[in-house]
Chains A and B, each alone.
Chain A
């Protein structure tokens, strides 16, 4: 469960301000909006990685955040995948056993010993996803995990997210892929200029939006 109230975050030249937000456990939320709208900022605030200048965030359950930069550590692919479990105090042997099936699923099993910084962008994205999923968290915050992936891997990543959803996890997914947002989301938020312009069931946001700017944006027009 996630609940935010009166959220405020100020950067030089940018302000994020939200009245109220709530995500029920097990929901799949997709977040859309133009670049610089504040999607990543909102995600970091909800995940507790950043303190708001005002307002409160409540988060129940174990949450994991996958960032947009696809950060990998200067260690092997295997050590990267097991890193989250290691932080949680799982022994290296145990952790390896638990991440191996995941790495196999995303096609990284033949690169276990490779230093992760040598992976391609798409491979890094899959590694980041696996690192988070292996922790079997209650809540997943995912910031553009399929950005610049080929169609096959997008399908794979979406399948993994769906599985997590079916397993009862809560997901908040930021994406620029409107079809994906529509496909996966039960609920969609549209952010513009630091405000939550529209939120509700994905079907409604995409087909019968109240705000004309939302309508324009989901129709593929430039909105700023």
Chain B
């Protein structure tokens, strides 16, 4: 029993680190993009907006399959040996979180872009200061964006299974463990793991929100 719970915590911790790393990796690129797109006049960003919003609907299994084919030994990046590792899961889930974070950030920044730009420029600030102020002023929508990105990464199972392989002690995360227990017909275990997954998501989101509400 204790060993079982030890393994649950191991899997939960892995879920947290994989989804967290994916969110950070995605944020590294999508936050600047979202702020930049949101701060530009609407007309120019329309195509990007369509792409990002459509990207939020990217099917995880398809993303997983693409990464599988890329990282497979028979694929172009096979030499990296990344298939069936946590790193591969982080990459695939970062791609899934990217449009979420960029899209929500863009929408949040856009709501304040015009008035903040006028304020900063009106007080003699430069364009770089406009962007920095916008970034800070949009922290609530950005927190929402990060929470959505993290939520999509940690709750995702299609890509995690295909590129991770659900290898015990290596790439098993909460979602793939739920699939495994369901497959075995152990629905009580599956539910318990699902509850842990919800708990982890809840705690992380709470931390993000509290952090974003700080003055």
Chains A, B in direct contact (C-beta < 8 Å): yes
Q: Are B122 and A47 in contact (CB under 8 A)?
A: yes
Name the interface residues of A54-107: CB closer than 8 Å to any CB of B. Answer: 62-67, 69, 71, 73-76, 83-84, 87-88
Min CB distance, B16 to chain A, in Å? 30
Q: Which residue of B lies closest to A128 (CB)?
A: B119
CB-CB < 8 A to B121: which residues of A? 48-49, 65
6 sampled A-B residue pairs with Cβ under 8 A: A65-B118, A67-B122, A69-B115, A71-B116, A71-B118, A84-B124
Q: Are B118 and A88 in contact (CB under 8 A)?
A: no
Q: Are A88 and B122 in contact (CB under 8 A)?
A: no
Q: Are A71 and B123 in contact (CB under 8 A)?
A: no
Q: Which residue of A lies closest to B117 (CB)?
A: A49
Q: Is A173 an interface residue (CB 8 A)?
A: no
Cα distance A64–B120 in the bound complex, in angstroms = 10
Cα distance A65–B124 in the bound complex, in angstroms = 9
Main secondary structure of the interface of B (DSSP, over half): helix
Q: Are B124 and A76 in contact (CB under 8 A)?
A: no
Name the interface residues of B128-178: CB closer than 8 Å to any CB of A. Answer: 129, 133, 137, 139-140
Q: Which residue of A lies closest to B116 (CB)?
A: A71
Q: Are A71 and B215 in contact (CB under 8 A)?
A: no
Q: Are B118 and A49 in contact (CB under 8 A)?
A: yes
Min CB distance, B215 to chain A, in Å? 6
CB-CB < 8 A to B125: which residues of A? 87
Min CB distance, A133 to chain B, in Å? 11
CB-CB < 8 A to A69: which residues of B? 115, 118
Q: Are A87 and B123 in contact (CB under 8 A)?
A: yes
Min CB distance, A136 to chain B, in Å? 12
Q: Is A131 an interface residue (CB 8 A)?
A: yes
Min CB distance, A139 to chain B, in Å? 11
Q: Are A87 and B129 in contact (CB under 8 A)?
A: yes
Instruction: Choose from A44, A48, A74, A84 the contact partner of B123 (Cβ within 8 Å).
Output: A84
Instruction: Choose from B119, B122, B124, B140 the contact partner of A73 (Cβ within 8 Å).
Output: B119
Cα distance A75–B140 in the bound complex, in angstroms = 12
Q: Is A161 an interface residue (CB 8 A)?
A: no
Name the interface residues of B98-124: CB closer than 8 Å to any CB of A. Answer: 115-116, 118-124
CB-CB < 8 A to A75: which residues of B? 215
Chain A CB within 10 A, most for which of B115, B123, B124, B140: B123
Instruction: Choose from B116, B122, B133 the contact partner of A64 (Cβ within 8 Å).
Output: B122
Instruction: Choose from B120, B124, B129, B137 the contact partner of A74 (Cβ within 8 Å).
Output: B137
Besides A64-B122, A73-B133, A84-B124, 20 more A-B contacts (Cβ < 8 Å) are: A49-B121, A63-B124, A64-B123, A66-B122, A67-B115, A67-B119, A71-B115, A71-B116, A73-B119, A74-B140, A75-B215, A76-B215, A83-B119, A87-B120, A87-B125, A88-B124, A132-B123, A135-B123, A135-B124, A137-B124
Instruction: Choose from A44, A73, A76, A141 the contact partner of B137 (Cβ within 8 Å).
Output: A73
Min CB distance, B180 to chain A, in Å? 45
A65-B122 in contact given A87-B129, A115-B215 (Cβ < 8 Å): yes
CB-CB < 8 A to A73: which residues of B? 116, 119, 133, 137
Min CB distance, A68 to chain B, in Å? 10
Q: Are B123 and A67 in contact (CB under 8 A)?
A: no
CB-CB < 8 A to A47: which residues of B? 122
Cα distance A117–B119 in the bound complex, in angstroms = 15
Chain B CB within 10 A, most for which of A71, A135, A141: A71
CB-CB < 8 A to A71: which residues of B? 115-116, 118-119
Q: Are A49 and B122 in contact (CB under 8 A)?
A: yes
Encode contact with B along A34-56: 1 for CB under 8 Å, 0 otherwise: 00000000001001110000000
Cα distance A28–B107 in the bound complex, in angstroms = 41
CB-CB < 8 A to A63: which residues of B? 124
Cα distance A16–B140 in the bound complex, in angstroms = 38
